[in-house]
Every structure is written in C-alpha cells, then in structure tokens.
Homo-oligomer: A and B are copies of this chain.
C-alpha cells in the first residue's frame, strides 16, 4: 500500500531537488555553461539519473522557465489587487515587467531569450507556453480595462497589448544583452519609453493636463 505513495513522493522530491540545482546553476553560471554532469555533481547523483526525471536538458530549461513565469505572474496578480485604477495598473505592470527582467537578468534570459530557439522542434516548451499565455492575459486585461474606462481611445486591444509587450521586452532584453551600450540613466529611459507609448494611446479628452 503506502509504500507506493512514499516512493512517488521520494521521486517527486528528487525531481524538485534536480530542478532547484538546475535553476541555481543556470542562473548563476548561464544555461550554456552548465552541463548535465555539473547538475548531477551538485545533487550528488550520477548524470544519468537526471534523465529518469526529465526528458533532456531542454526539458529541464522548460521547467525552470515555467517557474520563472509563475513568479512574474504572481507580481502581476499582486499589482491587480492593489492598483487603484486601470491606468496605474497598466503602468505599474509594464514597469514591473522591465524591473523584473533587470533584477533577474538570467531568469529573464531563460524565460524569454533562449527558451524559444529557431531550428528546434516546435512542440517543445509546452509547460512555459501555457504559463506565458496566462501572464500575457494580465497585459491584455489591463489594456482592455483602460479602453473600457475611457483612458484609451477605442483601439484594437489585442494588437495594442502585443505592441506594448514587444516594446517593454525590447527594452528589457537590450538592457540585459548589451549592458556595455552607453545607455542613458535607466529610469529616464524606462520613463521615456512608457510615456511615449501611453501618450500615443491615450484619449486626448481623458487627460487634459497633458502638456
């Protein structure tokens, strides 16, 4: 009886242990600098043991990526709870996205920069795919609410959400990938991007104080 449950639990525990080790190494040493043997060494098992719990290295990455997206999703949920109105919810969400990426560059890299490679089978990264959708829903919801509230002109919510994501992803990934570029002060840059974007969407009547 209960022996099976115990075994299953132990198996699950080891799986989590592998995942923790992998995430830790990926983040601190970079995905491509971490070998299966290094992960194995960290958890003090043989390399092949990992393959009893994960299909391959990409599968491991997929699972780590899912956890990262969950973390990001929780931030958005928290903002949704506390933001007083649609516009600040949207603004805070966009800022939080960029700041998340800057604060955890390697997490971000795993989730958005190297998870989806060209020349790889498209049926990969199943886990993080659905989690990614869930995260994007927050953005879509925020934009939709802004339109409903009359903050934005009536516009294509889907296209606008995608455009906003693209813009903030661009800034985040450039800050991560090109740290040596002579960027202006980070807050200034973020503010410049967000204000340009949002000013371009706002209903003129909604904010007469706009100079």
Write out the residue numbers on chain B whose beta carbons fall within 8 Å of the beta carbon of A183: 162
Asked whether A103 is an interface residue with its Cβ less than 8 Å from the other chain, the reply is no
In the complex this chain forms, how many copies of it are found? 2
Decide if A3 is an interface residue (CB 8 Å cutoff).
no
Main secondary structure of the interface of A (DSSP, over half): helix
| Residues in chain B near residue A192, CB distance under 8 A | 155-156, 159-160, 162-163
The answer on a CB contact under 8 Å between A113 and B177 is yes
> B129, B159, B200: which contacts A197 (Cβ < 8 A)?
B200
Q: A112-B177, A167-B171 are in contact. List 13 more A-B contacts (CB 8 A).
A: A105-B118, A118-B176, A129-B180, A156-B184, A163-B189, A163-B192, A163-B193, A165-B170, A166-B174, A167-B167, A170-B170, A173-B173, A199-B199
